[in-house]
Amino acid sequence: MSSDILTASQLNSGTSTTGIQVVARIRPSLQHERQLAYPCIFKTNQCVCTTDPQNKLLTSEHPFDAVFGPESTQSEVFSSLQQNIYNALCGVPLLQINYGVTSSGKTYTLFGTEQQPGLLTLSSQFIKQNLPEARLFISVVQIYLNQVSDLLNNCSTLKALATQADPLPGRVFKEFRSETELNQLLKKALALREQSATNNNSQSSRSHCLIYLVIQHNDGQNQLCFVDLAGSEPFQATQSKICQQESSFIRTSLLMLDKAIRDLKNLSSNNSNSVSFRSSQLTMCLRPFLQPKLVNTKFELPGSISLILNLHSNAEGFYSNKETLNLGLLTKEIKNYAKTPSRLGQLGQSVLQVAKSVRSSMSMNNSMNASQISELDEEYIAIRRQEWDWVQEQFSQLGEQLYKMQEQVEDEIIEARRDTVKEMQELMELELQAQKDEYELELLEKDEEIRKLKTALGL
């Protein structure tokens, strides 16, 4: 072992400035889609390039952390997420969001197929490979027409709570021990998910789907949340009433998520930790991953966030895809002054794996002597002692933080009430605007019917 001993403060890495990871993926064109001589959206290096179909001279480039073209594989997309999954093994929660218009490939990216597993399956494989002794649990929740239901508990209704650390305490978690068991649970849950045919997608998801993955191991438990958002579509007067309600819900809930992201972007400029969560069930469910806290004048998010922008190159959806890209660029500007994954957690996992590997090999080969085994155990114990010193230090700091938090609670409650009133007002305005749009379309239809009748009657 090196003579340089890591101190507790060194093991617990310091604060660093990171941003939300934003990745773009352009899906291939489908057989029934019109092939364009010049695609509206395409990849160049690590940029998404756009060409306006109305004015082909108007082009722009959008840089992201990673960009994947139509030929990309599921494994290649997962490679961009792999570091965040590893950080989750070291105790950093992860929120992974798949965002995009309908029929852009969100569900495929997350769930994949038997031949091409998606991010969820690849993540569980990675966890099992790097932490084989861990137990894995899954919960699947959908949000449909602003109602939350548990897809692993016969669609039982859940109530999202705005004030608790866990906004969905009643949901069911199921353990899985293999990829086969995971696929069986997902198949059962997704069979209950709300889907219907739309103008742009024959099997469009009409609900937001949240998959919570919990890792339990000797040092505690970590949580990951994968989100497959429903895709928005332009309002169509010819749709059925239920389809119009679904579209209105999807647009409104995505607007509330966009607003929460904009609030996070504006935190550093207005010196406020106010982020909109109560205005929709979606943002309330995501609150544990998005709720910032102010520490020494800087904002920290609870963990890592990865946003995948799912896109297609069709001219018909160009402007909707541009909105997706603009949200991605805005998200990239969010700064997170949070602690990086503890080197202690990474060292602990590495030493544990080495020790297990050595002991396993000894059962087949007794070439290692007792002194070598003792030396390895002493190194592992030394790191664990440093871990205990760090824990004591954290308890001391926690006591100071709790005292400061008591002084802030009353102000935060008052601010939260004000935010609730403001958000309810905004939600009502959005709903009124949607109703107004529907009435205007109905009036236009009636005017057209009257015009046709007059023509038929010769008036």
Tell me the domain boundaries of the chain: 20-339, 343-362+371-434
Please give the share of the chain, as a percent, with pLDDT higher than 70.
Answer: 74
Most confident by average pLDDT, 112-121, 237-246, 427-436? 112-121
Q: Are 210 and 141 in contact (CB under 8 A)?
A: yes
Tell how strand 94-99 and strand 304-311 pair up.
parallel
Q: Name the phi and psi angles at 152, rounded to 5.
A: -100, 10
pLDDT (0 to 100) of residue 198:
66
Least Cα distance to 338 among 13, 4, 54 occurs for 13
Tell me which of 102-116, 142-156, 290-304, 310-324 is least confident: 290-304
More confident residue, 174 or 445: 174
Distance in angstroms (rounded) separating the CA atoms of residues 200 and 232: 10
Look up residue 283 and give its two tokens. Answer: 């943002």
For residues 306-325, average pLDDT: 92
Distance in angstroms (rounded) separating the CA atoms of residues 201 and 199: 6
- How would CATH label the architecture of 20-339? 3-Layer(aba) Sandwich (3.40)
Concatenating the DSSP letter of every residue in 135-172 gives: EEEEEEEEEETTEEEETTTTTEEE---SSSSSS-TT--
User: Is 374 annotated as contributing to ligand binding?
Assistant: no
Is residue 224 helix, strand or coil?
strand
User: Is 280 annotated as contributing to ligand binding?
Assistant: no
Sign of dihedral through CA atoms 403, 408, 413, 416?
negative
pLDDT (0 to 100) of residue 5:
37
CA 294 to chain centre: 22
For residues 325-331, average pLDDT: 94
H or E element in which residue 106 lies? helix 106-111
User: Is 109 annotated as contributing to ligand binding?
Assistant: no
The residue ranges of DSSP E strands in 218-364, in sequence order, are: 220-228, 293-295, 298-300, 304-311, 335-339
pLDDT (0 to 100) of residue 379:
64
User: Is 105 annotated as contributing to ligand binding?
Assistant: yes
410 has a pLDDT exceeding 90: no
For residues 436-449, average pLDDT: 77
Instruction: Give the global pTM.
Output: 0.74
- Kindly report the average pLDDT of the chain as a whole number: 81
The residue ranges of DSSP E strands in 291-447, in sequence order, are: 293-295, 298-300, 304-311, 335-339
Most confident by average pLDDT, 16-20, 333-337, 415-419? 333-337
User: Is 358 annotated as contributing to ligand binding?
Assistant: no
User: Is 252 annotated as contributing to ligand binding?
Assistant: no
Residues 112-128 as b or e (16 or more Cβ within 10 Å = b): beeeebbbbbbbbebbb
Distance in angstroms (rounded) separating the CA atoms of residues 188 and 58: 47
Phi/psi region, residue 168 (left: phi>0; alpha: psi -120 to 50; beta: rest), is beta
